[in-house]
Amino acid sequence: MKRILLACSSGMSTSLLVTKMQEYAKSIGEEAKIWAVGQHEAKEEMKQADVVLIGPQMSFLKGELQNEANQYGIKVEVIDMRAYGMADGQAAYKQAVSLMEG
């Protein structure tokens, strides 16, 4: 099972994207736990994730979050701006999977 954490300022703006990503994963027969948290919970929640995607509005925190994530061997990346803006679950899911595989 893939475990994908999304983090944004409050955890609210990514909730639609989480739903779209879950729908896409299910449509291709993959099991995935995908959840969203606010930036203050991200460091604690990343312990349970395979990869962390952060909202574009949090890109300034990428370095700090990646430093934290290094101890768990996971990658942190900013969600593609277009995928984020369009709530494109397929694109965001593929971005997360490519980070896990890469």
| Strands in the chain per DSSP E | 2-8, 32-38, 51-54, 75-78
Active site residue 28: no
Catalytic residue among 7, 8, 34, 65: 8
Rounded Cα–Cα distance for residues 22 and 3 (Å)? 11
Active-site residue list: 8
